[in-house]
Amino acid sequence: MRLGRVSIAGRVAEVAFEGDEVVELPRGLFAAERADGPRHPLDAVEILAPVVPGQMLGTGPNFPANFATHGTAVGAREAQFPSVPDPSLKPISGIIGPGAAIVLPADSDDRVFHEPECVAVIGAPCRRVDPAEAARRILGYCCGNDIQHRGWSAADLSPWRSKGQESFSPIGPWIETEFAVEAGSARLIIDDELAWETAFADMVFSFAQVISTISMHFTLGPGDLIWSGTSGGALARAGQRVTVSIDGIGALTNPVETEVVAAGASAE
């Protein structure tokens, strides 16, 4: 089943996607029992980011090849790959949906990387759950583009600036509730050219392990997001179009633009 959010004549609704229609879900995405509401043609709605989470976390190092090349988020190449998940918080202000513009900050340069990832959507509260139970509390998965400025990630002591920019966390186009992560892969397509592909079989820590680890320290709630990590990515510049495609889920496409700073305003 595909679940998400759409705008219908300016009104936001939580829906199920069924063929060329969407069906409103009056009880919401996380209700134990589904109740169908009005139906609308898919081409009559605007697809939004599928959820608005309370919290969003990156998995941290999860692909040895990427870690060997880039080290940690702060550029520490000499660091050792962690023996347990080492997640980090991502600001939810960075979330955008399909078709929304990725805006490169006016004070940044061309070292902005786009990384194809899978994003797990929590479906029920998780507090001190083991991995087996954590897996049962995942509602489903969507595509994600984990964007970062490589220069800032190397210069700063945390990824607050390199990954925290508004529009640097596109997700969508919907949540697929039936998806076998381990057999899947995410492709990064820039304009019409394949730029990178990440196989989820190469993940060191499963979503269940990461969610269990996080739940030992604070509660994850319905709609919260956990990113998979990636084996790499590629640069994309203003004027290009970036797509993250995962067979079995769908494709998330966003144009890239440069921030326009109003006259008299500071870009720093």
241-to-103, 175, 192, 238 alpha-carbon distances in Å: 12, 22, 8, 8
Q: Answer yes or no: are the C-beta atoms of 230 and 197 closer than 8 Å.
A: no
User: ω before 61 within 30° of 0 (cis)?
Assistant: no
pLDDT at 151: 82
Which residues contact residue 263 at a Cβ distance below 8 angstroms, ignoring those fewer than 6 apart?
none
Identify whether 230 is part of a domain: yes
Q: Do 178 and 97 sit in the same domain of this protein?
A: yes
Q: Residue 86 sits in a domain of what CATH number?
A: 3.90.850.10
Q: What pLDDT sits at residue 261? A: 79
pLDDT at 17 over 70: yes
Pair 140, 176: CB distance under 8 Å: yes
- The answer to the question of residue 82 being in a domain is yes
Residues 98, 47: Cα–Cα separation, whole Å: 7
What is the distance, to the nearest Å, from the Cα of residue 22 to the centroid of all Cα atoms in its chain? 22
155 and 252 share a domain?
yes
The residues with which 15 forms a beta bridge, in sequence order, are 4, 24
**168-214 per-position pLDDT tens digit:** 999 999 999 999 999 999 999 999 999 999 999 999 999 999 999 99
Q: Are residues 172 and 151 part of one domain?
A: yes
Based on the domain organization, do 40 and 141 belong to the same domain? no
Instruction: Note the pLDDT of residue 11.
Output: 97
> Are 168 and 206 part of one and the same domain?
yes
**Dist CA 163 CA 11 (whole Å):** 30
pLDDT at 129: 98
Q: Could you tell me the pLDDT band of residue 154, with boundaries at 50, 70 and 90?
A: confident
3-class SS of residue 101: coil
**What tens digit of pLDDT does each residue of 68-86 get?**
666 554 445 557 889 999 9
Instruction: Return the residue matching tokens 């980011």.
Output: 49
CA pair distance 56, 167, nearest whole angstrom: 14
Higher pLDDT, 263 or 221: 221
Domain count, the chain: 2
Average pLDDT of span 94-109: 94
pLDDT tens digits, one per residue of 221-233: 999 999 999 999 9
pLDDT at 228: 97
Whether residue 264 is contained in a domain is answered as no
| pLDDT for the residue 75 | 47
Alpha helix segments (H runs only) across the chain: 64-70, 131-136, 150-155, 207-215
57 forms beta bridges with 89, 226
Q: Residues 18, 72: one domain?
A: no
Beta bridge partners of 7: 12, 46
In a domain, 268, yes or no: no
- Whether 148 and 226 map to the same domain: the answer is yes
pLDDT at 263 over 70: no
Band (23; pLDDT cuts 50, 70, 90): very high
